[in-house]
């Protein structure tokens, strides 16, 4: 800052000005005061001297004799003495012969003395040529009164005043100089403190709130101000921290919401959008929407109508709700409420978008199902009723014809029975009413039994039936009746949809050690060389009543529920279903079922990573929360490592504290206590060296979130994704071990 603008300069100049004014005032004022004091002192002195003089002067004396006596007395007193008669005639004078002096009757001091006993006057004396002080007193000691006038030149006093002024000036200049130095020092100190306050305010303006910026020195007002600023900074910092925590909470809520959330103001401008809303309206994660209307942001004509309706409605009383169809067959239900301040003034609206596409789909499925069931039931019933009525009203004469009719009625009633059985099975499976048995089963036995059932049927149709069962097949675990039903449905389809001359084969082998699959699982496949299924139909085959060729299926006695039942049985066993088919070439339906080994209780679980141990730490956290109490849980990386802070954070979001977990190396693990090892690294499980012997092994290949690309938010998202996958796997693992 230039010096001339500084506080020090301003204070110094101000002080100098004051000093100069003071000097000028004292210079001018002191002369008058001294003169007044001096003259009043002389007047008092003259009054006393006049009394003495009156006693010394004989009233008889006049003329030269009086002049002489006057001169003697005046010399001793150091004054001029004049004796004046009441008529103004000068009777005697100490300096001039009284006979030559003019009448003094008009002199102001004489007139004043005659009137009041004493008189005084200061005036320029033409006789002596400078200013004189005259003091006249009426002397009534003699027979006739006379006036004694003492006078003294005031020239001396001017000299006294001059030298006194010089002394005052020198004294004041010295004092002012010292004062100026003090003023400079004081203003410099003040300037420094004010400058520090300016620094402080700049820091606050830039958003940093320094702690204890001002030291506590002294008790003055500035210190008080500084301490208040210190306190203010701490309070603001705390408030900002609180606001940030609140914001983080709101952000977390918005992030965790599965609904899309949009906040608009009263003009329809977007104020806030959560990630799900961005996804719903295909907005990039970093796309800015500030100042844009919601219609521009959503770019959907339905949204334009919706916002108009929301803005027009009084959502304060009741919640606005509407279902809207978006592109690509998506449906959303929009609920809107108005946002108001404390005085009930509208601020905007909160719009919550629920994706109800699945609900809508299920509604359609349900409606289709009811229509399908009615139709499927009515078809055989109509046939049965028709034939029975014919038999009752017009019984055919030919008994063979009657037999034919009855055979048709029988066939349709069988179909009706099958349909009802399948519907009941399906409903039981879907509602979870069926309690699955958990028995160890040899897949080979199961396959052979089913083969027995279909052997004749296949050979009658001219379809070759075979099986191929791996000799080293692990035992599977499950409900034997349900699994048999599953195989019957698959083989029934294969035989049904394979023409004479074709082949049906059941294979069983140990499952590949594929991604996510467990060691010990068994894959059973039913392979045929039948008519095959067009690719477009494949995804819908497991829907109830879905059939590629309805007429053909019915003709072949199908209910359209076989694969739906298969899907549910597979799901209930925690397995996987895969349908591969090529039209005119054949179909392969494979089912992977968990091996018995996965069903054994794990009392000691070790989660293992080759790289960063954060995945095993998260798995340990979830296992501790979910697994039975007696389960011993360990987690390790191949090397000991610090727990990643983001792993701690995302687990905290899931309500689990892993901050106290320790991450040890594999070497430190009590291997004898471990009977299940779960590897979680993205690399092949084999890259984990020295796995504990005699343990079963699961592999959950998950990416390492610590090496995720992107900014902090994206890395955090990667952690959350891995956390959620781990949670699903752990839940699955321990729901298998009730």
Q: What residues are labeled active site?
A: 609, 681, 688
Does residue number 502 form part of the binding site for ligand ADP (CB under 6 A)?
A: no
List 121, 485, 553, 576, residue binding ligand ADP (CB under 6 A): 553
User: Could you tell me which residues come within 8 angstroms of residue 163 by beta carbon, excluding any fewer than 6 positions away?
Assistant: none
User: Could you tell me which residues come within 8 angstroms of residue 324 by beta carbon, excluding any fewer than 6 positions away?
Assistant: 302, 303, 306, 331, 332, 333, 334
**How many residues contact ligand ADP, by CB under 6 A?**
22
Separation of alpha carbons 55 and 142, rounded Å? 9
- Using alpha carbons, select from 251, 301, 309 the residue that is nearest to residue 281: 301
Our CB check for ligand ADP shows the closer of 299 and 552 to be 552
Sign for the CA dihedral angle at 689, 690, 691, 693 comes to positive
Q: Nearest approach, Cβ of 536 to ligand ADP (angstroms)? A: 12
List 541, 605, 681, 716, residue binding ligand ADP (CB under 6 A): 541
Q: How many residues comprise the chain?
A: 738
Helix (H, G, I), strand (E, B) or coil at 437: coil
Q: Nearest approach, Cβ of 493 to ligand ADP (angstroms)? A: 3
List 19, 419, 494, 718, residue binding ligand ADP (CB under 6 A): 494
List 158, 549, 580, 599, residue binding ligand ADP (CB under 6 A): 549
Does residue number 380 form part of the binding site for ligand ADP (CB under 6 A)?
A: no
Q: How many CB atoms lie within 10 A of CB 492?
A: 19
Separation of alpha carbons 370 and 373, rounded Å? 5
List 82, 94, 485, 493, residue binding ligand ADP (CB under 6 A): 493
List 562, 594, 637, 692, residue binding ligand ADP (CB under 6 A): 562
Does residue number 524 form part of the binding site for ligand ADP (CB under 6 A)?
A: no
- Using alpha carbons, select from 707, 700, 668 the residue that is nearest to residue 685: 700
Our CB check for ligand ADP shows the closer of 478 and 562 to be 562
Q: Nearest approach, Cβ of 486 to ligand ADP (angstroms)? A: 11
Our CB check for ligand ADP shows the closer of 581 and 610 to be 581
Separation of alpha carbons 86 and 89, rounded Å? 7
Of 139-147, 248-256, 430-438, 560-568, the window that binds ligand ADP (rule: CB under 6 A) is 560-568
Of 65-73, 218-226, 400-408, 523-531, the window that binds ligand ADP (rule: CB under 6 A) is 523-531
DSSP 645-707: HHHHHHHHHTT---TT---EEGGGS-GGG-SEEEEEESS-GGGS-SPPTT-EEEEEEE--GGG
Of 36-44, 306-314, 552-560, 650-658, the window that binds ligand ADP (rule: CB under 6 A) is 552-560
Q: Nearest approach, Cβ of 398 to ligand ADP (angstroms)? A: 34
DSSP 130-179: EEEEEEEEEE-SSSS-EEEEEEEETHHHHHHHHHHHHHHHHHHHHHHHHH
**56 near 69, Cβ under 8 Å?**
yes
Of 51-59, 524-532, 569-577, 592-600, the window that binds ligand ADP (rule: CB under 6 A) is 524-532
In whole angstroms, how far apart are CA 617 and each of 148, 603, 626, 669?
124, 18, 14, 14
Token digits for 640?
A: 């000991």
Our CB check for ligand ADP shows the closer of 423 and 494 to be 494
**447 near 525, Cβ under 8 Å?**
no
Does residue number 614 form part of the binding site for ligand ADP (CB under 6 A)?
A: no
- Using alpha carbons, select from 639, 642, 638 the residue that is nearest to residue 691: 638
Q: Nearest approach, Cβ of 382 to ligand ADP (angstroms)? A: 19
Q: Nearest approach, Cβ of 557 to ligand ADP (angstroms)? A: 8
Q: Nearest approach, Cβ of 505 to ligand ADP (angstroms)? A: 12
Q: How many CB atoms lie within 10 A of CB 727?
A: 19
Of 135-143, 185-193, 545-553, 727-735, the window that binds ligand ADP (rule: CB under 6 A) is 545-553
Of 220-228, 544-552, 595-603, 685-693, the window that binds ligand ADP (rule: CB under 6 A) is 544-552
Q: Nearest approach, Cβ of 704 to ligand ADP (angstroms)? A: 42
Our CB check for ligand ADP shows the closer of 532 and 604 to be 532
Provide the mask over 294-323, with x wherever binding to ligand ADP is found by CB under 6 A and - wherever it is not. ------------------------------
Provide the mask over 574-603, with x wherever binding to ligand ADP is found by CB under 6 A and - wherever it is not. -------------x----------------
DSSP state of 293: B
Q: Nearest approach, Cβ of 433 to ligand ADP (angstroms)? A: 21
Burial of 120 (0-12, 13-18, 19+ CB in 10 A): buried
Does residue number 560 form part of the binding site for ligand ADP (CB under 6 A)?
A: yes
Does residue number 548 form part of the binding site for ligand ADP (CB under 6 A)?
A: yes
Residues at the site binding ligand ADP, with contacts judged by CB under 6 A: 493-494, 497, 528, 530-533, 541, 546-549, 553, 558-564, 587
């Amino acid at each position: 800052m230039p010096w001339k603008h500084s506080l020090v300069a301003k204070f110094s100049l101000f002080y100098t000005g004051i000093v100069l004014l003071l000097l000028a005032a004292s210079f001018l004022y002191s002369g008058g005061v001294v003169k007044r004091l001096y003259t009043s002192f002389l007047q008092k002195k003259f009054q006393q001297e006049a009394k003495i003089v009156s006693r010394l002067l004989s009233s008889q004396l006049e003329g030269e004799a009086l002049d002489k006596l006057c001169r003697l007395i005046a010399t001793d007193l150091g004054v001029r003495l004049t004796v004046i008669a009441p008529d103004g005639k000068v009777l005697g004078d100490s300096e001039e012969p009284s006979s030559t002096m003019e009448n003094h009757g008009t002199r102001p001091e004489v007139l004043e003395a005659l009137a009041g006993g004493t008189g005084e006057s200061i005036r320029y004396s033409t006789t002596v040529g400078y200013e004189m002080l005259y003091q006249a007193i009426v002397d009534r000691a003699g027979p006739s009164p006379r006036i004694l006038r003492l006078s003294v030149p005031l020239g001396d006093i001017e000299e006294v005043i001059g030298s006194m002024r010089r002394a005052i000036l020198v004294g004041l200049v010295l004092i002012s100089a010292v004062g100026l130095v003090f003023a400079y020092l004081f203003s410099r100190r003040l300037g420094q403190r004010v400058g520090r306050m300016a620094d402080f305010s700049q820091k606050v303006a830039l958003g940093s709130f320094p702690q204890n910026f001002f030291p506590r020195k002294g008790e003055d007002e500035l210190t008080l101000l500084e301490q208040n600023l210190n306190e203010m900074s701490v309070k603001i910092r705390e408030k900002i921290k609180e606001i940030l925590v609140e914001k983080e909470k709101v952000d977390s809520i918005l992030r965790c919401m599965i609904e899309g959330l949009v906040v608009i103001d009263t003009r329809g401008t977007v104020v806030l959008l959560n990630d799900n809303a961005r996804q719903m309206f295909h907005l990039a994660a970093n796309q800015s929407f500030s100042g844009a209307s919601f219609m521009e942001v959503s770019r959907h004509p339905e949204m334009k109508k919706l916002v108009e309706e929301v803005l027009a409605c009084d959502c304060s009383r009741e919640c606005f709700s509407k279902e809207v169809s978006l592109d690509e067959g998506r449906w959303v239900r929009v609920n809107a409420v108005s946002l108001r301040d404390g005085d009930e003034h509208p601020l905007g609206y909160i719009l919550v978008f629920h994706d109800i596409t699945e609900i809508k789909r299920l509604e359609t499925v349900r409606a289709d199902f009811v229509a399908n069931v009615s139709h499927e039931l009515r078809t055989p019933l109509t046939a049965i009723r028709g034939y029975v009525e014919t038999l009752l009203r017009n019984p055919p004469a030919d008994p063979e014809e009657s037999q034919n009719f009855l055979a048709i009625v029988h066939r349709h009633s069988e179909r009706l029975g099958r349909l009802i059985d399948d519907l009941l099975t399906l409903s039981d499976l879907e509602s979870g009413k069926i309690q699955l048995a958990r028995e160890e089963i040899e897949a080979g036995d199961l396959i052979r039994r089913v083969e027995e059932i279909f052997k004749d049927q296949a050979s009658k149709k001219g379809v070759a039936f075979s099986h191929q069962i791996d000799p080293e097949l692990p035992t599977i675990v499950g409900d034997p009746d349900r699994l048999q039903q599953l195989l019957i449905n698959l083989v029934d389809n294969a035989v049904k949809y394979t023409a004479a001359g074709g082949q049906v084969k059941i294979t069983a082998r140990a499952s590949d050690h594929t991604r996510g699959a467990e060691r010990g699982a068994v894959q059973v496949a039913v392979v045929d060389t039948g008519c095959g299924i067009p690719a477009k139909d494949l995804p819908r085959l497991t829907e109830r009543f879905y059939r590629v060729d309805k007429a053909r299926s019915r003709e072949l006695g199908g209910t359209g529920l076989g694969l739906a039942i298969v899907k549910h049985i597979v799901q209930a066993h925690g397995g996987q279903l895969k349908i591969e088919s090529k039209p005119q070439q054949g179909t392969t339906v494979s089912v992977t079922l968990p091996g018995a080994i996965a069903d054994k209780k794990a009392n000691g679980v070790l989660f293992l990573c080759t790289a960063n141990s954060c995945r095993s730490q998260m798995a340990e956290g979830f296992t501790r929360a979910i697994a039975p109490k007696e389960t011993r849980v360990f987690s390790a990386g191949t090397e000991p490592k610090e727990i990643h802070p983001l792993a701690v954070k995302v687990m905290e979001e899931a309500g689990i504290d892993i901050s106290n977990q320790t991450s040890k190396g594999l070497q430190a693990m009590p291997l004898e206590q471990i009977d299940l090892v779960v590897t979680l690294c993205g690399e092949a499980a084999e890259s984990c060296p020295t796995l504990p012997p005699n343990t079963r092994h699961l592999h959950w290949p998950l990416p390492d979130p610590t090496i995720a690309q992107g900014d902090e938010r994206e890395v955090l998202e990667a952690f959350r994704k891995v956390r959620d996958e781990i949670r699903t796997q752990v839940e699955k693992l321990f729901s298998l071990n009730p």
